[in-house]
Structure 1
């Protein structure tokens, strides 16, 4: 499949909604719920997020499950009144992963069968919304592929990891989409895990559901600040504990470099580096 043509504007005011690489058009709003679990400690991104939600709410129904501190919650409620449904996490739900508690709350409140779950830095455009909606007619869970835009230095670096993942399978994005009926029937997913996206995919598959990770479905993601990126490295390492084969491959890099240097065979390092770049290039070329 090839990707659908995209308008350069995320939400053109009058354009119809593209629903997939082989599908037709569905004008106007989509019967989709967009669930945004949120827990902010400061509000520097409020204006930008509000602009995004304003365009998004013209196309789909939006529920923001906000676990921010009371003063920030009140500020968000004022900014988004009449724009999206703004709710606190269900106080009766218990678990250590606040994002999962927000997702559980949001899907329980959802008004539609098709539900998109997205972090606060994910930025869908109209084509992406329509493609996910169409795919959910055929599968129980959709795993899009994120790309950073803009690209500061650390986003370039992290994009290397994304390309390697795409070359061998698919990258893990900050967004998934799921059928509400499947999610509720399987009882949601475990709120006491760290790598919550992997847990949701595994739970859907264990329940007997079907999943899709189309390489052509690219969804924009805003890069974090450099300080936040550095702070995420420990979290990223913990996530890799849930993927032992990938973890072992990563752990082998430094000992392999030391062994090559000790054996006075720098050519091995150059060949390994060239092979890594070649694999990443395969990931870049996959579905555009």
Structure 2
């Protein structure tokens, strides 16, 4: 049985890419949901993808009008797919996200009473850099929610808002804030775990400053991250004090690991990597400041200055256009936080 929903996958792979593995994933996916791949790859790669993908996959080029405006290529792909979607309920996912049917069903069930669903990603395989980045995930979970590479969204809510800004580097946060600014209801599904594949270690290294730059969209967080390195350099703590601080970071990460069933997907040693990630962020935050002084962080051969708009700014813009107060179909109040999957497990 297919769900009455659309799966949108923005893609840009120039040259060699793991197209065979992705094609196998899509062969399963098209049995459950309509799939649209919006592919901004070069012509040889686009043709290779077309031959590899199942015939049931709708394979599109990004809207050229969007591309000419510049900005974030992933947003171009999402907005193109959203305009072409055949259903109200939409799942947006990066090319490394791998849903199974139960998680997909759960997202769609939550979308019945909300405008946005925010699952939790975890790495299906754990090379060293995936373990390192899991430290970030656990710290995010300890204080709030993580930012996944997949979201569920109601098409009408996002289209009513006029889409979301393609000049934002932190595009998922921009999408989340746009939906909320339009009056949409967000369901944070911190115990809905969706697998993702780790990138190469080389790609991971290239992303360090760019990911630190995302914190410009969260000034309080940025202030803390920028304060870490000066605090250590000025205090010059003794080794035992550094060790105690590291243990405290591990303890906080362990809270995130245990929260909302996280132990089912995050291993018992996952929290031990959190101090390494925090040290990296303490350094890369200052490199991100230097990037901003040069006009923004490097992206796709250029620079992007904006991380994401504040929600109050987006709300004011939408109010000027008469957009807001969206009420999701069938909802009378914000949905309760999910505690069980569709099977009751």
TM over 0.5: yes
2:117, 2:187 within 8 Å by CA — same for their partners in 1?
yes
In the alignment, which of 15, 36, 42 is matched to residue 42 of structure 1?
Answer: 15
Q: Measure how far apart 1:226 and its partner are.
A: 0.3
SS at match of 2:45: helix
Residue pairs, 1:64-213, within 5 angstroms: 64-80=37-53, 82-93=55-66, 94-213=69-188
Deviations 1:21-73 (A, max 9, x none): xxxxxxx2111100000111223301000000000111000000000001111
Q: Measure how far apart 1:282 and its partner are.
A: 0.4
2:232 pairs with 1:257: yes
Q: Measure how far apart 1:81 and its partner are.
A: 5.0
SS at match of 2:71: coil
Q: Measure how far apart 1:253 and its partner are.
A: 2.1
SS at match of 1:216: strand
Structure with the largest fraction of helix: 2
Q: Measure how far apart 1:247 and its partner are.
A: 1.7
Counterpart CA distance in 2 for 1:81 and 1:161 is 35
Q: Measure how far apart 1:278 and its partner are.
A: 0.6
2:27, 2:54 within 8 Å by CA — same for their partners in 1?
no
In the alignment, which of 264, 272, 283 is matched to residue 245 of structure 2?
Answer: 272
What is the TM-score normalised by the length of structure 2?
Answer: 0.73
User: Which 5+ residue runs of structure 1 have no aligned equivalent?
Assistant: 1-27
Q: Measure how far apart 1:239 and its partner are.
A: 1.2
CA RMSD of aligned residues (A): 1.2
Deviations 1:82-119 (A, max 9, x none): 13000000112233111101100001111111100000
Q: What is residue 13 of structure 1 aligned with on the other side?
A: none
2:216 pairs with 1:241: yes
1:142, 1:212 within 8 Å by CA — same for their partners in 2?
yes
Counterpart CA distance in 2 for 1:244 and 1:182 is 27
Q: What is residue 5 of structure 1 aligned with on the other side?
A: none
User: Which 5+ residue runs of structure 2 have no aligned equivalent?
Assistant: 262-345
SS at match of 1:59: coil
What is the TM-score normalised by the length of structure 1?
Answer: 0.87
Q: What is residue 20 of structure 1 aligned with on the other side?
A: none
